[in-house]
């Protein structure tokens, strides 16, 4: 039997909540800067360190793969050390790895430091969802909107600063400056971690039959997995290949970059609106359907008339991937405890990002095999279908714990050494 730590007095808890708000905000800003502040510099870095397109392509695939692998492993760490301690280590690892990446003298060390940095971010991606649940259970929509808006802000600002800072100073400074915010976030989590016991979010009593539900048997969880995988596939496909689609159609490189920025900007509006819809609607399936319609419209527009109406198509695509904040909100809405939310977050993001990492590579192979972007764009449009089907299961008003059988006492005894 495991007991909670002594309850916190209201004043003390009030101060801790302020620290938690700050920690979550700082963490959110850092969740994408290591990616979007790095990829615009690949040509500059490659020229300096002596690598070409092949390694650049590998570095472009690392984010989704790392988010998947280390996101999947994160819940096991949180069960042992607690959410705040895991966040502390994740952000500390990210900060040190970003600094190491900025100082990398060889391509090998550059790849290694990138993997380590994104390992930390992959874990942070997972733990921030249950952290919002445990600290702001009565303000779930607000907390979710806050961290998603700041995530999008970091994703948007980092690429805007990357090249100007590199040109004014060096690429090493441009890459290394993001170690600072990550380190600050880690320190704030450390302050919280030392004030709290590792199990302070745990239930009051845990027995052999109260173990984690078998989330892999929940149709709700698998609905979230497929929905998240399809939207991630679209997101990475759009970010990676839309500039090439537009330039192949006769547009400029500047047009491609500005359209990706426009697409990303819609994520901030979605982060503000969708979590509030998801918490007010018993079944937000209509949001999934609406997003799918916009997504298909955007893809068909790019296919049939890429340069006429480009603004409209990119706005449609930006609205279409608004199922991302919906998934993040539903992970908390469809679970009863922070422990289950952490497990579901790792499962959904681990498998979802893992599947999504094949998107940019597969779409590029299709482009080379067919000689045009028609088939790749149609493939992306078709992903809306499994997304809608999965969304129906994900949005149904039921808890994961109620639909996922728990291990029996016999199962628990068999797992004991």
pLDDT in tens, 257-302: 678 778 888 888 888 899 888 888 999 999 999 999 999 999 999 9
Q: How many CB atoms within 10 Å of residue 164?
A: 10
Q: What is the pLDDT of residue 409?
A: 53
- Whether 340 and 404 have beta carbons less than 8 Å apart is answered as no
Scanning 249-383, the segments in alpha helix (DSSP H) are: 253-280, 285-304, 310-320, 323-333, 338-356, 358-370, 374-382
Q: What is the pLDDT of residue 7?
A: 45
- Whether 203 and 399 have beta carbons less than 8 Å apart is answered as no
Please state the pTM of the whole predicted model.
Answer: 0.78
Same domain, 137 and 111: yes
DSSP state letters, 62-96: HHHHHHHHHHHHHHHHHHHH-HHHHHHHHHHHHHH
Number of domains in the chain: 2
Same domain, 134 and 272: no
Same domain, 190 and 62: yes
Q: Is 38 left (phi over 0), alpha (psi -120 to 50) or beta?
A: alpha
Task: Assess if residue 123 is contained within a domain.
Answer: yes
**Residue 110 half-sphere exposure, CB side, CA atoms within 13 Å?**
22
The answer to whether residue 407 scores a pLDDT higher than 60 is no
Task: Assess if residue 409 is contained within a domain.
Answer: no
When pLDDT is averaged across residues 353-368 and rounded to a whole number, the result is 82
- Whether 328 and 348 have beta carbons less than 8 Å apart is answered as no
Task: Assess if residue 38 is contained within a domain.
Answer: yes
Task: Assess if residue 35 is contained within a domain.
Answer: yes
Q: What is the pLDDT of residue 59?
A: 74
Q: How far apart are CA 168 and CA 340, in angstroms?
A: 47
Contacts 24+ apart (CB under 8 A), 361-369: 361/57, 361/61, 363/237, 363/240, 363/241, 364/240, 364/241, 367/241, 367/244
Task: Assess if residue 347 is contained within a domain.
Answer: yes
When pLDDT is averaged across residues 230-238 and rounded to a whole number, the result is 88
**114-128, 167-181, 199-213: which has the minimum mean pLDDT?**
199-213
Same domain, 171 and 281: no
Task: Assess if residue 410 is contained within a domain.
Answer: no
Q: What is the pLDDT of residue 213?
A: 67
Same domain, 193 and 221: no
Write out the residue range of the structural domain in which residue 278 sits.
215-403
- Whether 236 and 292 have beta carbons less than 8 Å apart is answered as no
Same domain, 164 and 252: no
Same domain, 176 and 286: no
When pLDDT is averaged across residues 163-191 and rounded to a whole number, the result is 92
- 320-356 pLDDT per residue, tens: 999 999 999 999 899 988 888 888 988 998 888 888 8
The CATH number given to whatever domain includes residue 264 is 1.20.1250.20
Same domain, 104 and 144: yes
Write the CB contacts of 379 (distance below 8 Å, at least 6 apart in sequence): 363, 366
Task: Assess if residue 387 is contained within a domain.
Answer: yes
Task: Assess if residue 84 is contained within a domain.
Answer: yes
Same domain, 192 and 328: no
Same domain, 312 and 340: yes
């Amino acid at each position: 039997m495991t007991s909670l730590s002594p309850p916190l007095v209201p004043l003390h808890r009030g101060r801790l909540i302020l620290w938690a708000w700050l920690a979550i905000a700082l963490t959110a800003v850092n969740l994408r800067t290591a990616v979007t502040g790095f990829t615009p510099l690949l040509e500059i870095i490659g020229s300096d360190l002596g690598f070409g397109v092949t390694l650049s392509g590998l570095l472009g695939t690392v984010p989704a793969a790392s988010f998947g692998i280390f996101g999947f492993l994160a819940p096991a760490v949180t069960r042992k050390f607690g959410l705040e301690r895991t966040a502390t280590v994740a952000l500390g690892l990210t900060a040190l790895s970003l600094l190491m990446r900025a100082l990398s003298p060889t391509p090998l060390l550059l790849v290694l430091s990138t993997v380590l940095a994104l390992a930390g971010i992959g874990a942070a991606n997972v733990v921030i969802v249950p952290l919002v649940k445990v600290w702001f259970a009565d303000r779930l929509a607000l907390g979710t909107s806050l961290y998603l808006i700041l995530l999008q802000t970091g994703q948007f600002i980092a690429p805007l600063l990357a090249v100007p800072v590199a040109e004014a100073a060096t690429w090493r400074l441009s890459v290394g400056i993001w170690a600072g915010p990550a380190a600050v976030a880690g320190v704030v989590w450390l302050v919280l971690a030392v004030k709290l016991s590792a199990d302070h979010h745990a239930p009051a009593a845990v027995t052999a039959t109260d173990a984690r539900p078998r989330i892999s048997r929940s149709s709700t969880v698998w609905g979230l997995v497929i929905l998240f995988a399809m939207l991630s596939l679209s997101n990475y496909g759009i970010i990676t290949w839309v500039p090439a689609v537009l330039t192949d159609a006769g547009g400029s490189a500047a047009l491609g970059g500005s359209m990706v920025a426009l697409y990303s900007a819609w994520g901030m509006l979605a982060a503000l609106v969708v979590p509030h819809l998801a918490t007010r609607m018993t079944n937000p399936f209509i949001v999934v359907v609406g997003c799918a319609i916009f997504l298909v419209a955007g893809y068909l527009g790019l296919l049939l008339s890429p340069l006429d109406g480009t603004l409209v198509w990119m706005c449609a695509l930006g609205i279409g991937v608004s199922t991302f904040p919906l998934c993040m909100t539903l992970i908390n809405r469809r679970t009863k405890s922070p422990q289950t939310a952490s497990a579901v977050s790792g499962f959904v993001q681990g498998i979802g990002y893992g599947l999504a990492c094949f998107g940019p590579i597969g779409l590029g192979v299709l482009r080379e095999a067919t000689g045009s972007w028609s088939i790749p764009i149609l493939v992306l449009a078709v992903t809306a279908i499994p997304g809608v089907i999965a969304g129906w299961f994900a949005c149904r008003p039921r808890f994961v714990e109620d639909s996922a059988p728990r291990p029996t006492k016999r199962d628990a005894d068999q797992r004991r050494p």
